[in-house]
Amino acid sequence: MNSNNESQRVKFGTKIGVIAATVGSAIGLGNIWRFPSEAQANGGAAFLFVYVLCVFILGIPVMLAELSLGRAGGSDSVGNFKNLTPKSRWWIAGTIGLLASYLILSFYMVVAGWTIEYLFDSLSGDLYDGYIAATQDQENAFFASKMANYVSSTWNPLLWTLVMIVLNLIVLLKGVQKGIEKMSNVLMPMMFVLMVIFCAVSLSLPNASEGVKFFLHPDFSKLDINVILNALGQAFFSLSLGMGILVTYAAYYPKTTKLGQTSVTVAMLDFFMAFLMGLVIFPAVMSFGLNNNETQLEGTTLVFVTLPEIFAHMGGERIWASLFFLLLAVAAITSTISITEVSVAFIRDRCRVSRTKACWIVMIPLLITSTLCSLSLGAVPGIKIAGLPLFDALDNFATNLLLPLSALAICIYVGWVLPRDFIHQQLSNFGTIPAKSAPLVAFLIRFLSPVLITVILVAKLIQML
Ligand code: PHE
C-alpha cells in the first residue's frame, strides 16, 4: 500500500488547471482530423446528432467512473485498484489501460512529430516550395506525394519524433503543477483562439453556407447501425477513455474538485472543439470544390493534403498553414503529455523512483518503439504484424480492442465491485455537495455502459475478422 505516495501526491493547483489539463488530453488529433472525417463518412449532421447522444449516454458516465476511481485511488492506473481493493486481482484491469496507453503513445508520438515538421516547413516556406495547384481531378497530387514521401522516408520523421519526445520530456520533468498544469493553462486558450480564427475565416469564404448545410442539416435516412457504432467509437477516443489517462490525472485532482461538473465541462469543450473544426472544414472544402472525392477527408489526408491545398487557394498560405500546424501541434502535445504521464506515474509509484528517473525509464524504450512505428510506414516495409505495418497494427489493436476492454473492466469494477455508494460518495465529495444525478450515473455505469461497450467490442472484432 502506498499511503506514503498518496499523502505526498502533488495535486493540480487550481480549478482551471484541472479543467485545462483534462481538456488538453481530450482535445487532440481525434477532434481535428478524426471527427470531420467520421462526420463526412457518416452523413454529416446525422452523425453530429448521434455523436452528442453518445457523449451523454456513454462518454460522460464512463468518464465519471474513471475520474472517481482515480481520485479515490490516488495513485497510478494500476495502483488505484491496489489501493481500493488490496487483496483482489483487479489491478490486472489497470494493466490493460496502461498497455493501451503505451502502444498508442508509440505511434501517436510519430504523428505528433509530423505536425511539428509541417509547422516548421510552413514557417520556412518549404511546404509550398515548387507548389503546383491541383485541378479537381488531380486530387491534391502535389501535397499527396509530398506527404507520402515524407512519411515513408527514414530520417526526417525520426528527427521530428525525437523533437516531440524531448518536448514531452521537458514538460514532464517539471512535474504536475509546474509542467503539465502550466503548459495546459497557456496552450489551451491559445488553441481555442486559433480555432475561432479559422472558423471565422472559413465561414466567410464564398459558398461557405453549402458546407454549413451539409454539417448542420441532418439527413436521418443516412442513420444506420454503423453510424451509431462509429459515433460511439469516436466519443470514446475523443474523450480519452480507457487509456488510463483520466484515472491518472484524477489522482491529481484536489478532494474538492466537483467531478460531475468537471466531466460535463470537459466533454462540452471537447465537443465544441470538434464542432468548430466541422465549421472550419466543411465550408472550406465546399467553397473550393474539393469535395469531389469520397476519401478526401480521410484522417491524415485531410490535414496534410486537403488543408494545405485550401490555404493555397485562399492566398497567404504560409501564414495560414503555420497557424494551422501550430494548432495541430498544440493539440497533439497536450495529448501526448497526458498519455505519457500514465506510464510515468506507473513507474514512479510502482517502482518507487523519482519522477525524473521515471521519465527517463519511460522515454528511452519509447524511442525504440516509436522509431519502429515510423520506419514501418515505408522505410523498412518488413516491420509488420499480421500483415499490417507496425504503426497500423498497434493502432488497430489498441484502439479497437484494448480501449473498450479497459473501459469495460473499469465500469464493472466501479459499478459492481466497489461499494454501492461509491459513485455517490465521489460525486457528492463525501456528502459535502449535492449530487442529484448520482443514481442515474450509477445506473448508466452499471448497466448501459457495459452493454454499449460490449457491443462496440464485438462489432470491432467482427470487422477485424
Ligand atoms: N482524446 C485524444 C484525441 O482526441 C485521444 C488521445 C489522447 C490520443 C492522448 C493519444 C493520446 O486525440
CB atoms inside a 10 Å sphere around CB 215: 22
Give pLDDT tens digits for 123-180: 999 999 988 766 655 556 888 888 888 889 999 999 999 999 999 999 999 999 999 9
Share above pLDDT 90 across residues of the chain, in percent, rounded to a whole number: 73
Counting the structural domains of the chain, the total is: 1
Which residues have C-beta within 8 Å of that of residue 415, sequence separation ≥ 6? 65, 423, 442, 445, 446, 447, 449, 450
Which protein residue's CA is at the shortest distance from atom 9 of ligand 1?
335
- Structural contact between residues 199 and 280, judged by C-beta atoms closer than 8 angstroms: yes
Residue type, 105: L
User: Cα–Cα distance between 142 and 308 in angstroms, integer?
Assistant: 10
The alpha-carbon radius of gyration of the chain (Å, integer) is: 22
pLDDT of residue 319: 96
With a 6 A CB cut-off, is 160 part of the ligand 1 pocket? no
pLDDT of residue 2 exceeding 50, the answer is no
What average pLDDT score do residues 354-383 get?
94
Which protein residue's CA is at the shortest distance from atom 4 of ligand 1?
30
Taking the CA of residue 239 as reference, the ligand 1 atom at the shortest distance is 1
Give pLDDT tens digits for 409-422: 999 999 999 999 99
Instruction: Give the total residue count for the chain.
Output: 465
Grid cell of 250 as nine digits: 484524477
Name the helix (H) or strand (E) containing 267.
helix 259-287
pLDDT of residue 295: 41
Grid cell of 389 as nine digits: 505495418
| Residue 178 domain boundaries | 4-464
What average pLDDT score do residues 69-74 get?
97
pLDDT of residue 4: 45
Kindly give the distance from the C-alpha atom of residue 336 to the centroid of ligand 1, in angstroms, as a whole number. 7
Q: Identify the band that residue 6 occupies on the pLDDT scale cut at 50, 70 and 90.
A: very low
Grid cell of 157 as nine digits: 520523421
- Structural contact between residues 18 and 187, judged by C-beta atoms closer than 8 angstroms: no
Distance from chain centroid for Cα 232: 14
Which protein residue's CA is at the shortest distance from atom 12 of ligand 1?
28
- Work out the end-to-end distance of the chain between its first and last CA atoms, rounded to an integer number of angstroms: 42
With a 6 A CB cut-off, is 343 part of the ligand 1 pocket? no
Closest CA to 57 of 261, 273, 267: 267
Kindly give the distance from the C-alpha atom of residue 240 to the centroid of ligand 1, in angstroms, as a whole number. 5
With a 6 A CB cut-off, is 273 part of the ligand 1 pocket? no
Which protein residue's CA is at the shortest distance from atom 8 of ligand 1?
335
Taking the CA of residue 331 as reference, the ligand 1 atom at the shortest distance is 12
Cα atoms in the 13 Å half-sphere on the side-chain side of 398: 25
The answer to whether the Cα torsion of 259, 3, 422, 447 is positive or negative is positive
What average pLDDT score do residues 237-252 get?
96
Kindly give the distance from the C-alpha atom of residue 225 to the centroid of ligand 1, in angstroms, as a whole number. 25
Q: Identify the band that residue 71 occupies on the pLDDT scale cut at 50, 70 and 90.
A: very high
Strand partners, 388: 385
What average pLDDT score do residues 332-338 get?
97
Closest CA to 39 of 28, 52, 27, 26: 52
Q: Identify the band that residue 300 occupies on the pLDDT scale cut at 50, 70 and 90.
A: confident
CATH number at residue 206: 1.10.4160.10
Give pLDDT tens digits for 340-349: 999 999 999 9
Closest CA to 357 of 232, 185, 172: 172
What average pLDDT score do residues 353-378 get?
96
User: Cα–Cα distance between 189 and 195 in angstroms, integer?
Assistant: 10
- Structural contact between residues 25 and 338, judged by C-beta atoms closer than 8 angstroms: yes
- Structural contact between residues 114 and 157, judged by C-beta atoms closer than 8 angstroms: yes
Average pLDDT in the chain:
92
What average pLDDT score do residues 356-362 get?
97
User: Cα–Cα distance between 436 and 383 in angstroms, integer?
Assistant: 52
pLDDT of residue 45: 87
